[in-house]
Amino acid sequence: MTQMTNQNPEAGEVAPLIAKLAGYLEQDIGTARALPMEMYTSKALLDAEREHVLKREWLCVGRLEQVEAPGDYFTVELLGEPVVVVRDREGVLRAMSAVCRHRYYSVVEGAGNAKVFSCPYHKWGYGLDGCLRGAPHMDAVEELRKRGQSDRLPQLPLETWLGFIFVNLDPDAEPLLPRLADAEPHWSALGVEEWRVSPWVDEEWPGNWKLAMETALEGYHVNGLHPETFASFMPSRGTAFEATSEQWTLFRMETVFKGEFEVYRPFADRLTGKDQTTVPQFGFFPNCAVSCTQFNAIWLTFLPIDVDRTRVIGGNLVHPDLYKALEADAALRDSNAASIDRVNSEDASAMVGLQRNAASAHAEPGLLCEMERCLLYFYRYLAQRLEDGVRGA
Ligand code: FES
Ligand SMILES: [Fe+2]
């Protein structure tokens, strides 16, 4: 642990919290306890997480199906940065800042297909590669004429993996794919790269982003929070840790096909070995989770708005056969969307409980169990990244 100096106020306030996180490097299940409440309420810690972790890490922002054709684009706000992801005319997939090079307006919002991006404020025009193509009534401005098309929307690192699109706000980011290669064998049997989203998710949860991530990292809560949606199909007792790395963590849950879930058995029967009876639940550090069954996978990315507010983007990926059925049947599509909404609301409800009790004098961190093992790895990851970040600041 580095000695923090008093000259850096951020380090001074955050250092004790990082030291507590670093304690998880030494602990194991049996003695490890939940994070202290202040980890979910400290604005200084959230600032450090934003600057030293989230703004330097790969953030899962979308799926390839959103940008299949040249001109297809979507926008996303990442930690206060407006970003556009676009497939340009040459077919190159790009991520870039959407902030106009003139006076800060967003050159594009929402999603669609475009030939150029025309800033709504004064109509500066940008090619799909981000280069400035035109600036009305600016001919007399010598400096702009000289810079010409070299004036460009800043490009951001982008990588794709199994149909997911990841963007990094750090232009010098290390590549992502080498860090995920060892995760692929654990779920390649499912064929998730072919699955399509129905429905998309974009909502706000009333709690800290780490708590949202934690909910996705353990199956212990299934019987408690999801008694009717998941508990009979994927009960807590079927949770088992499988593997972890610096970048990801994985546990599996048993699936039980009975009652209303009987119709999904054929999706499991197509698989072999343990994939027939168990399903992988991935956490991608720092803020993304993909919770699979044999026929769907709920992908969620957690973006902090404040210590007690989190924007959740993602979607429910479904097997192509199921996607076809949903496309053909509006009632089925609606009920599928309603059940995804219900499950997410159940997870979001965990946050209400924590925020309600945040000021309690009796909010003591309790012991963790083996089913919560992945939380340990999450805390260790955060400790390491925050230590490195604050040390380098
Ligand atoms: S702010 Fe974009 S053209 Fe003026
Ligand atoms: Fe859950």
Domain covering 177-380, topology: Naphthalene 1,2-dioxygenase Alpha Subunit; Chain A, domain 1 (3.90.380)
**DSSP helix/strand/coil, 355:** helix
Tell me the pTM.
0.95
Number of residues written out for the chain: 393
User: Band of the pLDDT at 11, cuts 50, 70, 90?
Assistant: low
Closest atom of ligand 1 to 122 CA is 3
Instruction: Give me the pLDDT at residue 12, please.
Output: 80
Looking only at the bridges linking them, the beta strands covering 164-168 and 196-205 are: unpaired
Which long-range contacts link 143-148 to residues 24+ away (Cβ below 8 Å)?
Answer: none
Tell me the C-alpha distance between 369 and 196, whole Å.
Answer: 35
pLDDT of residue 9: 54
Question: How far apart, in whole angstroms, are the C-alpha atoms of residue 107 and residue 98?
Answer: 6
pLDDT tens figures, 354-371? 888 888 899 999 999 999
Question: Helix, strand, or coil here: 301?
Answer: strand
| Cα-to-centroid distance, 155 and ligand 1 (Å) | 18
DSSP structural state of residue 3? P
Average pLDDT rounded to a whole number, residues 68-80: 98
Mean pLDDT of the chain: 93
Residues with CB under 6 A from ligand 1: 100, 102-103, 105, 119, 121-124
DSSP-derived 3-state class of residue 183: helix
Each residue of 229-244: pLDDT tens digit? 889 999 999 999 999 9
For the chain, residues classed under CATH 2.102.10.10 are 59-159
Q: What is the pLDDT of residue 142?
A: 78
Return the percentage of the chain with pLDDT > 90, whole number: 85
Ligand 1: nearest atom to the Cα of 100: 2
Rounded distance from Cα 106 to ligand 1 centre (Å): 8
Smallest-distance ligand from the CA of 107: 1
For ligand 1, the distance from its centroid to the CA atom of residue 10, given in whole angstroms, is 35
Q: What is the pLDDT of residue 2?
A: 41
Q: What are the tens digits of pLDDT across the range 123-150?
A: 999 999 999 998 888 877 777 777 766 6
Which residue puts its alpha carbon closest to atom 3 of ligand 1? 122
% of the chain with per-residue pLDDT over 70: 96
* pLDDT tens sequence across 209-222: 999 999 999 999 99
Helices (H), the chain: 9-22, 38-41, 43-52, 142-147, 177-180, 209-216, 222-225, 265-269, 320-328, 330-356, 373-392
For residue 149, the model assigns a pLDDT of 62
3-state DSSP helix/strand/coil percent for the chain, to nearest 5?
Answer: 40, 25, 35
CATH topology of domain 59-159: Rieske Iron-sulfur Protein (2.102.10)
Q: φ and ψ at 189, to 5 degrees?
A: -60, -30
Q: Do 192 and 163 form a contact (C-beta atoms < 8 A)? A: yes
DSSP string, 159-178: EEETTEEEEES-TTPPPSHH
* pLDDT for the residue numbered 316: 97
Residue bearing tokens 């780490």: 210
Please tell me the distance from the alpha carbon of residue 193 to that of residue 162, in angstroms, as a whole number: 4
Within the chain, all domains assigned CATH 3.90.380.10 are found at 177-380
| Chain mean position to CA 251 | 18
pLDDT at 5: 41
Which residue from 84, 99, 118, 119 has its CB within 8 A of the most atoms of ligand 1, so it is best to mutate?
Answer: 119
Q: How far is the CA of 157 from the centre of ligand 1 (A)?
A: 24
Which among 97, 101, 103, 138 is the best mutation to test ligand 1's pocket, defined by most ligand atoms within 8 Å of the CB?
A: 103
Tokens of 304: 């902090």
pLDDT in tens, 284-308: 999 999 999 999 999 999 999 999 9
